[in-house]
Amino acid sequence: MMNQMRKGVGGFTAKLLLGLLVLSFVVWGIADGFNMAGSPNTVISAGGTDVSTREYQQAYGQAINRVSAQLQRRPTPEEQAALNIDQQVLSQLTSVALLDEEARRLGLSLSDEGLARRIANEPAFRDSSGNYSANTARLVLQRANLTEEQYAAEERKMSRRIQVMDAVTGGMALPAAFADAMGTYNGERRTIAAITLPPIPASEIPEPDDAAIQTLYDDTSEDYAIPELRSYSYVALVPEQLFDPASITEDEIEAEYTGNIADFTTPERRRVQQIVFPDRAAADAAAAAIAGGQSFAEAARAAGRSDADVELGLRTADQIPDTVVRDAAFGLQPNQPSGVVEGLFGPVIVQVTEIQPAEVRSLDAVRDEIRQQLAALRANARATEAYTAIQDALGSGATLAEAAEAAGLELTSIQGIDQKGRNADGQEIENLVGGSDLLTALFLAQPGTATEPVNFAPGSYVFFDLTDVQEAQERPLDEVRDRVVADWKTDEGDRLQEERAKAMVERARAGTSLADIAAEAGLSVQTTSGLTRASGPSQIGQPATMAAFEGPQGHVADAPASTDGAWMVLEVTETSLPADPRASVQAGLGDQMNDMADNDLLQGFVARLQRDIPVEYHQQAMDQVRGVLQ
């Protein structure tokens, strides 16, 4: 788990917001700690650690957004209460606060050097070449609505949490016996001999009487009913449909190239080395030695630095976080060490061993690329304009048809569709715009109520109006009699097959060989080798695989075969365990099990912290935030 945490939490803003809350912490019993007064800016107090209203607002807003994405609309206050969103958010933030408080009590911290290293290693701050970029970092922070100071504070908190959690789970691994048992279970192979009873043709199954037909119909009438059908009209906004590279002129391409020449320029890169010294005196002594003829490499060794310690690699100016080192490195000639400069982590001497000049791609080389980019931007702009025009028109009281006409888009109508995208005859409607996302929103909509546009793909939306609802209705037996009879025969065929198979199993268990049983029935015995719990379902079907692993060698059982209506009688003739059980453990499965064990430990640890650390919840501050968000 800790390794996964260090790899990121699936989104920069979410990472900052919830820190390391990928743990499935239980919802704590938090009712006893409520304080109706308290600070107006504090939601939770855990010892000397507070959770601010800003943090609560962000966490609560994200929780609502997750539910909104599933419902395709914003949940009502009643739905938010029914889903326990407030309790879940409080539970998560309580866990964070308790970990932060424990880190505070232990006096844990993160040095400036450690902070700089975390910033430089943040994946979200890397450019297209995979290196740290100060410009990218600034853009990411702006989009996340964070200042550099706020981000640094969050990173320090996160580092302290990791230190606490490492102390709980660090070095913890499940015993080898667990991996062996898991590998043995996964890698066990079996050979089976089997008789497959072919499906009984419907013509050979006696016709049901009226009573049997009526009974099946009464028990399963909903299976034959006409489902609820809904009709709607819609307008689709799909940027891809507005994408028109041919509309981009040569003048536009040249203007884009000239105005954004930096985008087509590979910046100068330099291979940079640096020696960081503990104090100015040591740095000045090394500078004097270099001036006297000592090489940079010799000076580094004299300072106790390895090649890896001094090598920064091939970097652009933007990829060096320390501005002092950056300025020094990009002002040097190759293999000419700098004087002593005051870097972020102390006095530094810098050297450049290689310079790769900046390169500019020609207009001819990037013409098609620019054409595609401009066409995509224009398509997105047109889609955005149309989206705004439709929203404004609907907000002014226009119908969807009028709004579509004003935006220059086509209004389409769909008549009678069910929740699975089929028409009244049960046929699937092809190329349904909006797909399952639209169907979900359509069947949540209420007649006569305004609906929200459905975002069904990046940048793609569909506006719809629910125009008609036909309630589900049962079909009379006379109308579906043939289907009921066919279903009864299917059930009866399965019953007869199972009865026949179980009789064969009893004979086999009594000592008759499968070969003799098969010969009497005019069937044959097939052998399947190398069967595992994982491969079995694709070979003989899931039910038969489960039956094959229910007992030891010699075990006889029956189960439905992989073909509808067929049945299988099988005997386990050979079993073999893997020579190396751990080789049978799927890649990543061991890590998943270790993560689960880590999670159990962390849940117990946080539960213990809650018993030891007083926690208060400030109701007034929470109510204020929820009042804004709801």
Q: What was the pLDDT predicted at 398?
A: 92
What is the CATH topology of the domain spanning 2-172+594-629?
Triger factor/SurA peptide-binding fold (1.10.4030)
Q: What was the pLDDT predicted at 214?
A: 94
Q: Write the pLDDT tens digit of every residue in 395-426.
A: 899 999 999 998 889 999 999 999 889 988 88
**CATH-assigned architecture of domain 189-223+478-576:** Roll (3.10)
Average pLDDT over residues 387-400: 91
Q: Write the pLDDT tens digit of every residue in 72-93.
A: 667 777 778 888 888 888 888 9
Q: What was the pLDDT predicted at 176?
A: 81
Look up residue 440 and give its two tokens: 């979900």
Does the structure show a pLDDT above 80 at 534?
yes
Q: Please tell me the distance from the alpha carbon of residue 558 to that of residue 356, in angstroms, as a whole number.
A: 72
Sequence-ordered alpha helix ranges (H) in 7-133: 12-18, 53-71, 77-82, 85-106, 112-121
Look up residue 553 and give its two tokens: 């060698």
The answer to whether the beta carbons of residues 194 and 531 sit under 8 Å apart is no
547 confidence band (pLDDT: 50, 70, 90): very high
128 confidence band (pLDDT: 50, 70, 90): low
The answer to whether the beta carbons of residues 294 and 300 sit under 8 Å apart is no
Q: What was the pLDDT predicted at 73?
A: 67
Angle, in degrees to the nearest 10, between helices 589-612 and 176-187:
140
Does the structure show a pLDDT above 60 at 37?
no
> What CATH class is the domain 268-357?
alpha beta
Does the structure show a pLDDT above 50 at 540?
yes
Q: What was the pLDDT predicted at 555?
A: 96
**Does the predicted model carry a pTM greater than 0.75?**
no
Counting residues of the chain whose pLDDT is more than 70, the rounded percentage is 92
Average pLDDT over residues 511-515: 95
Average pLDDT over residues 42-62: 87
- Range from 57-66, 352-361, 593-602, 603-612 that averages highest in pLDDT: 352-361
Look up residue 321 and give its two tokens: 């976080």
The answer to whether the beta carbons of residues 230 and 468 sit under 8 Å apart is yes
Output the CA angle 67-68-72, nearest 5 degrees.
Answer: 125
Q: What was the pLDDT predicted at 9?
A: 33
Q: What was the pLDDT predicted at 39?
A: 60
Written as one string, the DSSP assignment of 235-247 is EEE-HHHH--GGG
Place of tokens 């933030």: 93
Mean pLDDT lowest among 110-114, 195-199, 529-533: 110-114
Written as one string, the DSSP assignment of 325-373 is HHHHHTTPPTT-----EEETTEEEEEEEEEEE--EE--HHHHHHHHHHH
Q: Write the pLDDT tens digit of every residue in 221-274.
A: 888 888 899 999 999 988 888 889 999 999 999 999 999 898 898 899 999 999
Q: What was the pLDDT predicted at 466?
A: 94
Q: Please tell me the distance from the alpha carbon of residue 6 to that of residue 426, in angstroms, as a whole number.
A: 49
Q: Which residue has the higher pLDDT, 575 or 133?
A: 575
190 confidence band (pLDDT: 50, 70, 90): very high
Amino acid at 467: T
Q: Which residue has the higher pLDDT, 319 or 139?
A: 319
Does the structure show a pLDDT above 60 at 6?
no
φ, ψ for residue 18 (rounded to 5)? -100, 0
Q: What was the pLDDT predicted at 628?
A: 66
φ, ψ for residue 454 (rounded to 5)? -100, 125
Q: Which residue has the higher pLDDT, 176 or 314?
A: 314
Does the structure show a pLDDT above 90 at 588?
no
Average pLDDT, the chain: 86
519 confidence band (pLDDT: 50, 70, 90): very high
Q: Write the pLDDT tens digit of every residue in 463-480.
A: 999 999 998 888 899 989
Q: What was the pLDDT predicted at 321?
A: 86
